[in-house]
């Protein structure tokens, strides 16, 4: 379906959205009414393959039975206590997430941006209390083209003008270096650096994979200067790239890792910072918190997500289907595609100059029954749910090949 064939029924929903909500998104003209696995159905009964998967929040597809069952069971018991009291899901969730990620401590939050804010606060506190950085002098080194969320502090170190303009005054204390340039990073890390904060693969920027060896070099630079390595795996983590965490591809471990999106199983927002005791242990009661962070419903769903990931099945699917995806996308280079990047079931596809804009391509896919979204300019981000069948994956790739070849 395209805007040109939008039914009056669909248009009524779109009109209501546009009349009553702030205009901070530009959705495709598809109104989803229900969904299962890799498929969604709109209000007119048209079915679409979901090749975006909620920006990787839906790694396990829509309404995965084990996740819906865990949520439903918890809804019948207790959903919110606040952290004023203990509850019977919290400790188990933290232990299981620490064991899954090979870390020592967990701080649960809700949105991804909150997890990143939490990591920034913890890194600064660690810099003052442990590293001995003078008061208010701590710096955090970040990468160009980053995306870490939408809070005032996080947009302060974004170089995306749409995300940043008119939100000043900006939070100081951030130093930006080009992504993938280890020499520039080494030059920017000083005695005052609390942390280096990076995405192991940059999602919003168009699925940017850094040069081989870069992440290991980041680890080495952090160790040499006594700075923390904070990996934002909110989009790259939890099996999306064929491993639990994207840093595993280089055999690297971060001091703090932010997780989100798929941690909530596509059901509710669940995020966390995981890391070592000597870093997360700097927090004391009252120094940070969230009313909903680590609530019983979130922990019950998060535990079911952890059980799925502990089998390794989704990591394997992502690796195997991802190899197929990248082999097929590679064949499109020179046929309407100028470059393809990514790992596992995750790809950034650059449409060749003179072809469709990203938005036009996304609309053309929707007309062929495949939903995805452009990132910047003429780059498409493909991130199908990891539960997708090989036949459905091929169906989606066929649509990509068809759309890009028309230019």
Known catalytic residues are 147, 232, 261
Q: How much of the chain is in helix, strand and coil states, percent to nearest 5?
A: 40, 15, 40
- What is the C-alpha to C-alpha distance for residues 277 and 261, in angstroms, rounded to an integer? 24
Q: Binding segment for ligand PLP among 94-102, 125-133, 142-150, 345-353 (CB under 6 A)? A: 142-150
Give the nearer residue to ligand PLP in terms of CB position, either 42 or 255: 255
Closest CB 203 distance from ligand PLP, rounded Å: 5
Q: Is 346 in the site for ligand PLP (CB under 6 A)?
A: no
Give the nearer residue to ligand PLP in terms of CB position, either 222 or 273: 273
Least Cα distance to 371 among 64, 41, 60 occurs for 41
Q: Is 116 in the site for ligand PLP (CB under 6 A)?
A: yes
Q: Is 125 in the site for ligand PLP (CB under 6 A)?
A: no
- What is the C-alpha to C-alpha distance for residues 242 and 101, in angstroms, rounded to an integer? 15
Give the nearer residue to ligand PLP in terms of CB position, either 61 or 203: 203
Residue with tokens 């160790």: 223
Give the nearer residue to ligand PLP in terms of CB position, either 237 or 336: 237
Q: Which residue is nearest to ligand PLP (CB)?
A: 112
Bridge partner list, 195: 140, 228
- What is the C-alpha to C-alpha distance for residues 50 and 53, in angstroms, rounded to an integer? 6
DSSP β-ladder status, 271-275 and 337-342 = unpaired
Exactly one of 89, 101, 111, 318 binds ligand PLP (CB under 6 A); that residue is 111
Give the nearer residue to ligand PLP in terms of CB position, either 182 or 272: 272
Closest CB 199 distance from ligand PLP, rounded Å: 5
Least Cα distance to 373 among 207, 172, 219 occurs for 207
Exactly one of 124, 148, 240, 343 binds ligand PLP (CB under 6 A); that residue is 148
- What is the C-alpha to C-alpha distance for residues 142 and 364, in angstroms, rounded to an integer? 36
Closest CB 161 distance from ligand PLP, rounded Å: 18
DSSP β-ladder status, 256-259 and 228-232 = parallel
Number of H helices, E strands in the chain: 14, 15
* Residues of this chain, 190-249, that bind ligand PLP according to CB under 6 A: 199, 203, 232, 234-235
Q: Is 274 in the site for ligand PLP (CB under 6 A)?
A: no
Q: Binding segment for ligand PLP among 84-92, 147-155, 220-228, 294-302 (CB under 6 A)? A: 147-155
Closest CB 101 distance from ligand PLP, rounded Å: 16
Q: Is 149 in the site for ligand PLP (CB under 6 A)?
A: yes
Concatenate the DSSP letters of all residues of 312-381 into one string: -HHHHHHHHHHHHHHHHHHTTBTTTEEEEEESSS-EEEEEPTTS--HHHHHHHHHHTTEE-EE-STTEEE
Give the nearer residue to ligand PLP in terms of CB position, either 27 or 407: 27
Q: Is 147 in the site for ligand PLP (CB under 6 A)?
A: yes
* Residues of this chain, 17-46, that bind ligand PLP according to CB under 6 A: none
Using left for φ > 0, alpha for ψ between -120 and 50, and beta otherwise, residue 102 falls in left
318 CB-near residues (< 8 Å, 6+ apart)? 239, 240, 241, 242, 344, 345, 346, 386
Per-residue x/- marks for ligand PLP, 363-392, CB under 6 A?
------------------------------
The phi, psi pair for 253, rounded to 5°, reads: -120, 140
Closest CB 88 distance from ligand PLP, rounded Å: 26
Give the nearer residue to ligand PLP in terms of CB position, either 344 or 355: 344
Give the number of residues in contact with ligand PLP, rule: CB under 6 A: 15
Q: Which residues bind ligand PLP (CB under 6 A)?
A: 55, 111-113, 116, 147-149, 199, 203, 232, 234-235, 260-261
């Amino acid at each position: 379906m395209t805007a040109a064939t939008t039914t009056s029924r669909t248009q009524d929903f779109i009109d209501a959205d546009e009349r009553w909500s702030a205009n901070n998104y530009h959705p495709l003209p598809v109104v989803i009414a229900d969904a299962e696995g890799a498929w969604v159905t709109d209000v007119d009964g048209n079915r679409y393959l979901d090749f975006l998967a909620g920006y990787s929040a839906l790694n396990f597809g829509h309404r995965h039975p084990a996740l819906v069952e865990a949520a439903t069971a918890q809804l019948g018991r207790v959903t919110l206590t606040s952290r004023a009291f203990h509850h019977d899901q919290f400790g188990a969730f933290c232990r299981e997430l620490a064991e899954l990620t090979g870390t020592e401590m967990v701080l649960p939050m809700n949105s991804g941006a909150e997890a990143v804010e939490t990591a920034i606060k913890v890194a600064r506190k660690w810099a003052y209390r442990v590293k001995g950085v003078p008061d208010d002098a701590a710096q955090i080194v970040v990468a160009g083209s980053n995306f870490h969320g939408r809070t005032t502090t996080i947009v302060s170190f974004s170089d995306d003008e749409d995300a940043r303009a008119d939100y000043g005054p900006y939070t100081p204390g951030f130093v930006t270096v080009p992504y993938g340039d280890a020499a520039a990073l080494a030059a920017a890390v000083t005695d005052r650096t609390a942390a280096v904060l990076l995405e192991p693969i940059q999602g919003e920027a168009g699925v940017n994979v850094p040069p081989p060896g870069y992440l290991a070099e980041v680890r080495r630079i952090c160790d040499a200067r006594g700075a923390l390595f904070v990996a934002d795996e909110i989009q790259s983590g939890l099996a999306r790239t064929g491993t639990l965490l994207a840093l595993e591809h280089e055999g690297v471990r971060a001091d703090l890792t932010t997780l989100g999106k798929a941690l909530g199983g596509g059901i509710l927002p669940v995020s966390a910072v995981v890391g070592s005791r000597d870093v997360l242990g700097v927090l004391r009661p009252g120094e940070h918190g969230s009313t909903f962070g680590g609530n019983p419903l979130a922990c019950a769903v998060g535990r079911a997500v952890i059980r799925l990931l502990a089998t390794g099945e989704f990591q394997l699917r992502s690796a195997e289907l991802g190899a197929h995806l990248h082999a097929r996308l590679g064949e499109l280079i020179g046929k309407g595609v100028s470059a393809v990047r990514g790992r596992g079931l995750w790809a950034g596809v650059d449409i060749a100059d003179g072809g469709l804009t990203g938005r036009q391509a996304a609309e053309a896919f929707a007309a062929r029954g495949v939903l995805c979204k452009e990132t910047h300019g003429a780059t498409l981000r493909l991130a199908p749910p990891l539960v997708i069948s090989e036949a459905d994956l091929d169906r989606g790739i066929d649509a990509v090949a068809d759309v890009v070849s028309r230019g």
